[in-house]
Amino acid sequence: MLTVLRRIAQEIDLAGDLMSALNIVARCVREAMQVHLCRIYLVDHKQKCYVLMAFDNNDKLPVPSSSVALDDSLLGLVSQRVAPVAHLNLVGNDLSEKLAFLGVPIVHHQQVLGVIAVEEANHRLFTEDEEAFLVTLAAQVAGTVVHAKEMGFVFKEGAKPLEIKCLQGISAVSGVAIGTAKVVYPPADLDAVPDRSTNNIDEELQRFKDALDLAQKDIVQLQQKIEPVLPLEEQVLFSAYLQVLSSAELKDDVDEEIQKGQWAEGALRNVIKKHMMQFALMEDLYLRERAEDILALGQRILYHLQERSLEPTQYPAKTILIGEKLTAADLADVPEGALCGVISYSGSHNSHVAILARAFNIPTIMSATGLAVTELEAKAVILDGYHGCLYVEPSMQLSKNYERWAKEEKELDRALQGLSNLPSQTVDGRAVSLLLNAGLMRDVGLSLNKAAEGIGLFRTEMSFMDKAKFPTETEQREVYRQVLQAFSPRPVTMRTLDIGGDKALPYLPIQEENPFLGWRGIRFTLDHPDIFLMQLRALLSASEHLENLQILFPMITSVEEVDEALQLLSRAYEEVKAQGLNVTMPKVGVMLEVPAAIFQIKALAERVDFFSVGSNDLTQYILAVDRNNTRVCSRFDVLHPAVLRTLQYAVERAHAYHKPISLCGELASDAVAAVLLLGLGFDQLSMNAGILLRIKWIIRTIPYARASALVQEVLALNNVSLIRTEVEKVLDEAGLGGLIRAGKS
């Protein structure tokens, strides 16, 4: 049933209007439950009746009535009880045969909006799983109905809602943005470049060199423009661009093509296509998507080869940036303060555009479909990042609704600032430390974020990715020292070098058939003790007189790995002490991100001081799902019962051996998951700075006892959608609805 629920949810999202969505539901329900009839009614309070909105039958039963009185015996009973109603051996008013009936209410904020009913002409008992399936689906339908009413749906002849033009895509960053569409196009078209021979090789070589230099200047200017407002871990995108443009490989390859007699434009086209093909053939999705970055740089060079100048583009005051294939440079081109939303017709959650938008917390939709990009220029639009849709030339009522919600979101964010200096503690006394996930930081102003009690995960690999070679011990020490000083005396947990999987070093490509199960994390560093010792010495020496360093080992699968890593740490400690530095041995932890480590907690607890759950990797290993693979990523769900039960076991085992346990990863930034993490008993949660105050709001609002009881309730469920629905109900009841939808409630 879970697969069916996900498929229905996806089809509902793609439906153009309410009627289409409800017809999809009716059809899918009848097919999934193998019943003779499914009908969906909505309540028309003005006419005091149920209006038939959709039905699907197999001709075993007649077409149901188009409207039914509110006191109808069965539908009325469902509404009266606000609960599922099942009946056997019912004789219908207009039927000669006996029926089995199951009806569930469509409810929003305790108000019954309608009823989903299924009927079977044969004797049968509907199972608890079937009832749970229908209840979960009704909860999803409720959101669709409410959304349609907010857009202007009214009951009228044929019950057709107002027609609205919209784009639908994948939500990459939630939030609401209201503004004017600005469509951007590639600066030049490599596909349109013809083959052309040249007799003047030197001239073509010089033309290409000049164009390459100008393209580098473009990227440097964009980097300088964006540097003051962007954390360095995101600035590496532009550093990577410059590395490509300055690489000997690119220049040499193009020069070689020119030496063969091809003009500069044709030589550039051939080389860019070759490099794109190399990335496109890679197994890993993250690396495959880098092909788009290569193309964007090639287009920029071509623009200068064609002797054009990049004239300043005029952007609206509230720009919703739209493009077929947007790049990080496109976002950086928009004047500061003008960019409100981003729509890309291609790309995924891991595209550079999505990464950059998340850093700015700009509502973003990827892989958008529905309208041609040429239809959108200068149009008034509304971007709903919660539902992954863009409304074009919205109605007055829809605009008013979204303007109200956008205002409420700003009010909510302002109100939450008042929580900054308050303790992260539940009303019944349970303290949960809230920490930051971070990478490199030139702007130590992040330390002024008083809401954070420290850094729970500092990704040291960022200082390796930002270089053209392995950074020296001195270079590493300077970076680590800056961060430790900025947060002193608050703790900073530095994860040792974690490359491999979806994190490749530009100067150390690792080609593997299955990189997520390959040479990554502690496996790489133990195989390179020279690199590992250099980093450990840099970490220890950076902590002199500060004593807020904690070291975290990633990708642990065995006790032997921890023993070997600790031996190298002890060696590095002695070497640093021998240099005359006054350092103390930091606390050491291991990441629980491989299931094997979870079941060795007792032995690990004898060796380390704390545990940190890496929820992203742990989930993909438990479910055997690569979340970056578009074919299976819909099966990646952190609320899967197996994941929750594994987390429960990890917390219980860690506490049994008196070790604190934290969690980092996207799970900690999910409002629904945060309630369960609170109830599971995690001591610390580590997340991005933008979501921290919202999670603190949850902790200070929902009692630990209620969250713990909720965990036990959902662990009895086997349906992911139903688990999410149950937790969302708790958030709504607690007045925290603004965390899961637009507005404050």
Strand partners, 86: 102
Residue 376's closest CA among 350, 406, 404, 343? 343
Q: What residues contact residue 322 under an 8 Å CB cut-off, 6+ apart?
A: 181, 182, 183, 184, 342, 343, 344, 345, 373, 376
Burial class (CB in 10 A: 0-12, 13-18, 19+), 547: middle
Give me the catalytic one of 147, 352, 387, 640: 352
Give me the catalytic one of 28, 38, 340, 664: 664
Residue 352 is among the residues annotated as catalytic for this protein:
yes
Do you find a cis peptide bond into 489, omega within 30 degrees of 0?
yes
Task: Give buried/exposed letters for 241-280 (b at 16+ CB in 10 A, else e).
Answer: bbbbbeeeebbebbbebbeeebbbbbbbbbbbbebbeebe
What DSSP line would sit under 387-448, residue for residue?
A: TTEEEES--HHHHHHHHHHHHHHHHHHHHHGGGTTS--B-TTS-B-EEEEEE---S-GGGGG
Q: In what order do the strands lie in the sheet with 37-44?
A: 67-69, 49-57, 37-44, 111-120, 98-108, 85-91
Residue 166 is among the residues annotated as catalytic for this protein:
no
* Spatial contact of 455 and 427, defined as CB atoms under 8 Å apart: no
What DSSP line would sit under 646-706, residue for residue?
A: HHHHHHHHHHHTT--EEEESGGGG-HHHHHHHHHHT-SEEEE-GGGHHHHHHHHHHS-HHH
3-state secondary structure of 86: strand
Cα(473)–Cα(462) distance, integer angstroms: 15
Q: What residues contact residue 46 under an 8 Å CB cut-off, 6+ apart?
A: 155
Q: List strand residue ranges (DSSP E) for 468-596, in order.
A: 492-495, 549-553, 587-592
Burial class (CB in 10 A: 0-12, 13-18, 19+), 530: exposed
Task: Give buried/exposed letters for 208-238 (b at 16+ CB in 10 A, else e).
Answer: beebbebbbebbeebbeebeeebbbbbbbbb
* Spatial contact of 17 and 24, defined as CB atoms under 8 Å apart: no
For 41, list phi and psi in degrees, rounded to 5: -115, 145
Catalytic residue IDs: 352, 664
